[in-house]
Amino acid sequence: MAGIFKAYDIRGTYPDQIHPELAARIATATVEILGARRLVVGRDMRESGPAMRDAVVEAIVAAGCDVIDIGRCSTPMSYWAVNTLQADGGIMITASHNPARYNGAKICSRGAAPVSYDTGIAEIERRCAAPASPPAAQRGRIEQRDLVDDYQRWLLGFIGEIKPFTLAIDTGNGMIGEFLPRLFAKLPCKVVPLFWEPDGRFPNHEPDPLKPENMRDVQAAVRQHHADLGIAFDGDGDRVMFTDEHGEIVPSDRITALLAGHFLSRSPGSTIIYDLRSSWIVSDEIRRAGGVPMESRVGHSFIKQSMRKTGSVFAGELSGHFYFRDAFFTDNAELAMLTVLSLLSQRNQPVSQVLAPYNRYFATGELNFHVEDKEACLAKLQREFADAEVAHLDGVTLRYQDWWCNVRPSNTEPVLRLNLEAKSTALRDQMLARVEALLGPRSTAAH
């Protein structure tokens, strides 16, 4: 079990690290810590999914809790189901964007509030190592529901008119591809589909659009078909990334800045949350639109918690997670896509022109460094830049008037992650060289 109980979810290789027997223990513990009487269970397209689902469902009903089995779905759809069906929580069987040999679970409580390591996963881990609980005196019931049409009607209810764009969309053989034909049957767009057939072996590329190599197919399709926009989803459909009409990748903080203005026009003065890796342009645009910018630690559980506390209307992460108050403070990649299309329909400009005003700063993107002693390395960084304004919200952030950087330990891998931005390319490259000299050689670690 070592190492699979993570900051935001449970994830490991199948069947050595995670398997049906352990999945059953996780499900029983989830019923117990939530005091659940009714749980939603969904799964993605991984080949180990059916065996995991069977074990999870049996364990839940054996614990005396009812199951609403919504079948194959995206993670955002499972969150929606927990809220719409007023369940006590949900277990989404997925390993998100990880390679085919992985599986796991994302767990939420009532209202789709995330269960993180600090709010439940640590206790689930403890209970999984303890003797098994006896079955309940009365078994729960299983109800199977097909909610796709209802869910898509809910999504489409948020958006205005969408113009007949040409779109290249790569779902990486992940979960979203199963549902997009039904969604786009209701829209006037011409779509170039890439790898829409769900296939848990991921035969074309990993379903992780944050890695540039996984964006190459959609970039090529945009150029070949003269598309207006490229769109790529991750494996379980809670992250999305975009390209412009030239096939150039759009950093997700630019999308956060764009959507922040859109939501502030509807909810003036609202708080907009963004992760601390985001460009200065995000806080600039939030203030310009009359909103309140608020930095957050990286990770969906931290952002969702902050959104609930502040009533934030919208939040964005550099990794392609976009969160919506009207989606129960959860991340929803399909809603992000539809909102971007609706906004671009109003602007009547190519994506590159809409985003051009945001290209005022120059970032490195996220770089990984394999470091044996992370704490010593962070301390050395602070000594080297002792005159910086320092913050410790997540790792170490160093701020100057004309550049900043954040170095933080990964929650999932033995690496430090660096993001650095400056007011010129020359300064960016100069400061990157100084910081990189302290961190050592770059790693090729996945996100």
- Residues tagged active-site: 96
Two structure tokens written together for 395? 């790792």
Q: Dump the DSSP string for 328-379.
A: TTEE-HHHHHHHHHHHHHHH-S-HHHHHGGGTTSEE---EEEE-S-HHHHHH
Query: Is the separation of the CB atoms in 375 and 395 below 8 Å?
Result: no
Query: Is the separation of the CB atoms in 364 and 428 below 8 Å?
Result: yes
239, 296, 277, 299: which is closest to 119 by C-alpha? 299
Long-range CB pairs of 50-55 (<8 Å, 24+ gap) are: 51/20, 52/14, 52/18, 52/20, 52/23, 52/93, 52/103, 53/93, 54/20, 55/20, 55/21, 55/23, 55/24, 55/27
Burial of 428 (0-12, 13-18, 19+ CB in 10 A): buried
Two structure tokens written together for 344? 């671009």
- Euclidean distance between CA atoms 410 and 52, whole angstroms: 27
User: Residue 47 CA to chain centroid, in angstroms?
Assistant: 22
Tally of CB atoms within 10 A around 343 = 17
